[in-house]
Amino acid sequence: MTIQLTRVQLFLLMFVMQTGFVYVSFQNLLIEHGARDSTIQFLIIALVFFLQLLFFERMYKYFLLNRFMKVLYLMYWFLYIIVFVVYITYVLTSWIFPNTPNSVLIAIFLFVCFYASVSRPETAINIGVVLLPMLALFILFMLRAIPNLNVSNLFPLFQESKESWMMGMIYATYAFGGAEVFVMLRKYVLKSEKINNKVLAAYSLVLTGFYLFSILFTLMFFALEEIKLLPEPILYILHSQEVTFVKRLDLFFIYIWLSWTLVAIVNYVLMIRLIYFEKKRKAPKLQLFILFASMGVISTFLIRFSVLDFLKHYVVYANILFTFILPILIILINKMRGRTISESDTSV
């Protein structure tokens, strides 16, 4: 299986995958541990992410996975998708469908993802475009909360302990999970499409600004003690807004976020397809069906609040390993060995 990407398609894929899962809950974990200094902690990790992109762009030709690393990443993405299927199901049952069985929600959700995933790769690549108007609407609706913001909630700064800073920066990495997608997909970008430092800086600023916007609004809208009690603070902000054309704005955004998450899952499955179906296999649609069926069965057994609470606090460490640490180690080891991706593996 091969694909060709423009740089716009590459960064659109990355943006959806880096925001589609954690955007409504990320602020709770970050601010719970980082308090008012969480904005600074987040910006430090954003800088690390930008430097990582610069490193990836210069060294992506050395990112060559052996069989063992391919299996590791396939397992990571498989489990990562399951975690967020569990989470989105929990949100849907809490906010919209309290009386609908979890298994029914999961089956419907994953069937839609499966249908999109068995289509041509171009479908998964371009489907994220439909989200852009929705995200613009989300930003406009969030801006309606400005009269209720209290700027004094942002201060004082630099009052937190070293432990708070360390944990805040750890949870800030949630916002940049999926950075490994860049180095994995870079070889598929058309050679005529140049990715320079300005392009990487522009993408980093867009992603950082999108997350920073939500962090600042959460800090200014709620007291610190309130944030700790709100697992999805963004939804509560939207819930407080009144508009004439929809009774509950938070539900409107949940449907947007549901679509957003669906596209993110389809994109992660695309990554699985690129590695697993790198060589032709028999009955690929049947194997994809088995993949989604396995996700559905495992997700159904994991939907418990205690399990979800454990996962959201500890998945971040797997995220750090597979997003930040392993890609750099793989590149450095291959560089020392002089191993690079072959011309047949790159786009033409």
The whole-angstrom separation of Cα 334 and Cα 139 is 42
- The pLDDT of residue 249 is 72
Average pLDDT, the chain: 89
DSSP secondary structure code for residue 100 in this structure: S
Q: What one-letter code names the amino acid at 92?
A: L
Among all chains, which residue has been given the structure tokens 């709100």? Answer: 230
**20 near 193, Cβ under 8 Å?**
no
Torsion angle in degrees (nearest 10) through CA of 242, 95, 221, 43: -130
Alpha carbons 43 and 49: distance in angstroms, whole number: 10
Of 200 and 342, which is predicted with more confidence? 200
pLDDT band at 244; cut points 50, 70, 90 = low
Residues 24/232, Cβ–Cβ less than 8 Å: yes
Cα 142 to Cα 137: distance, rounded to the nearest angstrom = 9
Please name which of 73, 136, 91 lies closest in space to residue 261, comparing C-alpha atoms. Answer: 91
Per-residue pLDDT at 137: 83
pLDDT of residue 333: 95
What are the structure tokens assigned to 103, written together?
């298994």
Burial class (CB in 10 A: 0-12, 13-18, 19+), 94: middle
Nearest to 114 by CA among 104, 101, 124: 124
Strand, helix or coil for residue 178 = coil
Task: Specify whether the CB–CB gap between 238 and 253 falls below 8 A.
Answer: yes
Average pLDDT estimate for 69-75: 95
pLDDT in tens, 151-198: 999 988 998 889 999 999 999 999 999 999 999 999 999 988 999 999
Which domains are assigned to the chain? 7-345 (1.20.1740.10)
Does the structure show a pLDDT above 60 at 347?
A: no
Whose structure tokens read 């613009």? 136
* pLDDT given for residue 279 in this prediction: 73
Nearest Cα to Cα of residue 270 among 342, 194, 178, 334: 178
User: Is residue 345 over pLDDT 60?
Assistant: no
Decide: helix, strand or coil at residue 304: coil
CA gap 57, 55 in Å, rounded: 6
Q: Considering only CA atoms, which of 334, 330, 281, 314 is closest in space to residue 73?
A: 330
5 has a pLDDT exceeding 50? yes
| Mean of pLDDT values over 44-72 | 95
The larger pLDDT score, comparing residue 259 to residue 323, is at: 323
> Could you tell me which of 319, 289, 347 has the C-alpha nearest to residue 17?
319
